[in-house]
Amino acid sequence: MKKLPDRSSEAAKPSAIANGSCRLRLCSAGGIERCLRSALGVVAVLMSVWPPAALAQQASSQRSDGVVIQGTVHSADGKLASGATVRLERKDDSSPVETKTNAAGVFSFSALGTGSYVLIAEMPGMRSRTAAAVASSKGEQKQVDLVLEGSGPVDSSAGFSQAMEFADKPSFTVAGVTDWTAVGGHGSDSTLRTSEYLARETLTLKPEDAGHGVSGSGSEGSAPGVSSRAAADGHRLAGEQDEKGSDPLAAVHEFEQAARLDPSEQNYFEWGSELLLHRAVWQALEVFQKGVAAYPKSARMLTALGTALFAGARYDEAALRLCDASDLNPAQIEPYIFMGKIEMAAPNPLPCIERKLARFAELQPDNSLANYLYAMAMLKRQEQSPDEKIMAQAEVLLTKAVIIDPKCADAYLQLGILSSSRRNFEAAIGFYTKAIEANPESAEAHYRLGAAYDRIGQPEKANLEFQLHDKIKRREADEIERQRREVKQFLVVAPGKPGYPPAQ
């Protein structure tokens, strides 16, 4: 049986997807101050009892020519959140705007155009789920209330006690394993396959610097003792050995114990990625959410969180977290790779991704993968409303990708698809042929080449390509099933709580 990725060896080399190749392998005076405080207090009281309808009426009188999206932000126990950041993004232009909630937890965006929007609220250590708002007519007012997840903001002076609340009292237990193939799924499901691929690649993500080894509090007194840290290291190493020895159940328990003893960035990451690899998606999501709350400057933790969100079919949230990861270190390649993969696999264009991939291509103009991924994000938007000018821009990027890397099979394939869409089948055949030369195992290239031959009246060549397509698809299906048999799925129980919802 083939062993799963060796974490210790993978940490010593670059990720397989981070080499710049286009091949993806799936490709202040006293009195005044007191008066101001008193006045603000009165305003806060008035605002807290002012009904939403009054807010809407005021917004309407001020901005009757545009859409108004407003609401409140509060914690799960109903306490209104003052000073929370609320981000609004229109789905079709990926240009976010931000505002802060007032003393009563109220926010408002005005003078907006019609369209579909997503909103999310954040405070240190807390974040809401994304919420959607659709405005179809001018002057419309939408009310959106956002709930922050978590018990409260992470106080940096509190050190590990708050940062590790989740790990001290986990809401689930991994009770066993089962055959992954028993859950269903099929090799042709690109979203599922992308989720599996990114779960494996998450294991290869490396920390950016040694500063993530302890909690972000910077409080030396709150750090675990030397003995606790040493014990945690022992558990983590034991977990790595258990995983290599094909005992994932023992491995995940070791990683959990390591995180309890020493809630370092690494231990959070190891625990969460083990859960994700073995398809305990919702539990991995909880661990990564707590990890991000404790280490908000960890790009790999945000990337892993984005991967878990994608696996749970929370596509827009996944995109936002990956975009956040890329903002931490714009020169780091991995978040772009991940966001490019989920953009291609998701059913609809995702927020922020195209804009971030444009930055990637600008920062690394000689990277074939950067050009390819930006082109694919542009083409994704064209699925809903084709624009020949945008498609031509994407074509330029794809052409640049194959000039930089003549083995960029995926870019050749897309150039062929563009040619076929213009009914230039001879040019398409040339591109499909080059795609197959670069990657003979590209089933899609064989199929599309066959279709192009059929369109120009060469049925014999078409049938040959269709047969090759069928053989490659059968081999791919067998390989996918083999990989799934090797990766056992965790059986998870949540005492006293209803089961986690299935991925949609």
**Each residue's pLDDT tens digit, 490-502:** 877 765 544 444 4
Residue 141, classed as helix, strand or coil, is strand
Where are the extended beta strands (E) located within 105-229? 106-112, 115-123, 126-128, 131-135, 141-149, 173-178
The confidence score (pLDDT) of residue 429 equals 97
The confidence score (pLDDT) of residue 70 equals 92
Amino acid symbol at 82: S
Q: Which of 86, 149, 162 is nearest to 117 (CA)?
A: 86
Residue 116, classed as helix, strand or coil, is strand
**Residue ranges for the chain with pLDDT beneath 50:** 1-3, 8-20, 25-63, 151-168, 182-188, 210-222, 497-504
Distance CA 432, CA 447 (A): 9
Superfamily (CATH H level) for 50-149? Immunoglobulins (2.60.40.10)
The confidence score (pLDDT) of residue 4 equals 53
The confidence score (pLDDT) of residue 150 equals 58
Given the DSSP bridges, would you call strands 115-123 and 85-90 parallel, antiparallel or unpaired? Answer: antiparallel
The confidence score (pLDDT) of residue 258 equals 92
Query: What is the 3 state secondary structure string of 39-85?
Result: HHHHHHHHHHHCCHHHHHHHHHHHCCCCEEEEEEEEECCCCECCCCE
The confidence score (pLDDT) of residue 94 equals 55
For the chain, the domains span 50-149
Amino acid symbol at 143: Q
Query: What is the 3 state secondary structure string of 472-485?
Result: HHHHHHHHHHHHHH
The confidence score (pLDDT) of residue 466 equals 97
The string of DSSP letters for 127-139 reads EEPPEEEEE-STT
Contact 272, 299 (CB under 8 A): no
Total H helices, total E strands in the chain: 20, 10
The pair of three-digit structure tokens given for residue 337, joined into one six-digit string: 């790779």
Residue 7, classed as helix, strand or coil, is helix
